[in-house]
Amino acid sequence: MAQLAKEVPYLSIVVPLFNEQDSLELLHNGLTRALRPYTYEILFVDDGSFDRSLKVLQAIQLHDHHARVIRFSRNFGKAEALTAGFRESRGQVVVTLDADLQDDPQEIPRLLAGLEEGYDLVSGWKIHRKDPLSKTLPSRLFNRATSSVTGLHLHDFNSGLKAYRRPVIKKVQVYGEQHRFIPALAHWQGFRVTEIPVNHYPRLYGHSKFGMRRFLSGLLDLLTVLFLTRFSRKPLHLFGSAGLIALSAGMILGVYLSILWFAGDRPIGNRPLLMLAVLLIVMGVQFITLGLLGEMLTLSAAREGKNIHHYDVFDSTALPLSADAEPSPEPHMGARPRP
Ligand code: UDP
Ligand code: MG
């Protein structure tokens, strides 16, 4: 087997794959051609394939020391595959692309040029998407919704082709099917995110792994992302407000019914309003306690130093030597190919 490259590569390519046996060799050839100017590694993350994918990858690895293979014992989903690839990657810059030949490796230098301009995440925009209408239409709706909910205005959140600077992948964690929201989560962390139009090809082999179910899970994940980005630091602000509104409405109704009862002119025991008052009070108390529990979780994560936002440090080594020297560039690694 070819020895793993000793030198730390500049670029890590992460390819999540699930049953893509027929595409892998062509993809590997395409990547090898496109990546010639760089020091790189290719991490194939086999997400529990049960076809010949692993065999093909092992054969590739035999001859190419750039290739590394990660294998899940069963299918855990694309987001988990990406996370494993990110963890194992060593490059300053990480590029992801799908294994089904729908993404074009020749676009990688253009993504890197975007990083070079100062962005932290450059996402591919499949401007002429080669997928059936049943996919492109709901996808357009999904992109519109995500764009307005998250405040990050991209045309295409879900392209497999993306380039990241390392701090982004260290900070942004996804699980389940949240890979569609990586740009939004990165944007929320304060990273600079952009998109560039990229080529897209029809699927040649195998079939899409995401059916109509994706739209329901996309909607639920959008809700999660909305909650996590807006309220994960202050859960009581969400639950507490709902709780206070319900509690006060219930109390007002309760007081009104009590006055009627004390006045003694009408029985209140069989009034629907009484049920409503009790329901609102119980709901209010539950919402508030839920918010307080959320605050306790947030506090314990903060104590463990787990939810610190991304920041850059400018120390004296980054300052210009003399007063008239040019100010030093941003404290990021540039996306330059090997000289
Ligand atoms: N994929 C994966 N695990 C899964 C589903 C998909 O690793 O559970 C990979 C798949 O092999 C492909 C990429 O994710 O490389 C995108 O999947 P697909 O082409 O099916 O999605 P589509 O292009 O239809 O959106
Ligand atoms: Mg595809």
Output the six-digit token pair for 198.
Answer: 């990229």
pLDDT tens, 8-51? Answer: 899 999 999 999 999 999 999 999 999 999 999 999 999 999 99
Q: Which helix (H) or strand (E) holds 197?
A: strand 193-198
Q: How far apart are CA 198 and CA 97, in angstroms?
A: 12
pLDDT at 175: 85
Output the six-digit token pair for 147.
Answer: 């764009």
Enclosing domain of residue 31: 2-230
Ligand 2 centroid – CA 131 distance (Å): 8
Total structural domains within the chain: 2
Ligand 1 centroid – CA 257 distance (Å): 59
Boundary (domain end) residue, out of 215, 230, 245: 230
In a domain, 336, yes or no: no
Q: Which residues surround ligand 2, an ion (CB under 5 A)?
A: 98, 100, 102
**Atom number of ligand 1 nearest to Cα 45:** 7
Identify the sign of the CA torsion 183, 184, 187, 192: positive
> What averages of pLDDT result for each successive group of 10 residues across the chain (339 residues)?
68 97 97 96 97 96 96 95 96 97 96 96 94 86 91 94 96 87 93 96 90 81 88 92 98 95 86 96 98 94 82 75 49 45
Please give all residues whose beta carbon lies within 6 A of any atom in ligand 1, as ranges. Answer: 16-18, 20, 47, 75, 77-78, 81, 98-100, 102, 160, 208-210
- CATH number where 65 lies: 3.90.550.10
Same domain, residue pair 212 and 265: no
Ligand 2 centroid – CA 226 distance (Å): 26
Same domain, residue pair 195 and 209: yes
DSSP codes joined into one string, 233-267: T-HHHHHHHHHHHHHHHHHHHHHHHHHHHHHTSS-
Q: How far apart are CA 217 and CA 223, in angstroms?
A: 10
pLDDT tens, 173-229? Answer: 888 888 999 999 999 989 999 999 999 999 999 988 887 777 788 889 889 988 888
Q: How far apart are CA 248 and CA 270, in angstroms?
A: 22
Same domain, residue pair 50 and 98: yes
Boundary (domain end) residue, out of 230, 249, 269: 230
The pick from 31, 78, 126, 162 for probing ligand 1's pocket by mutation, whose C-beta has the most ligand atoms within 8 angstroms, reads 78
Write down the pTM of the prediction.
0.84
Identify the sign of the CA torsion 333, 336, 337, 339: negative
Phi and psi angles of residue 103, each rounded to the nearest 5 degrees, phi first:
-100, 150
Ligand nearest to the CA of 53: 1
In a domain, 74, yes or no: yes
Same domain, residue pair 91 and 222: yes
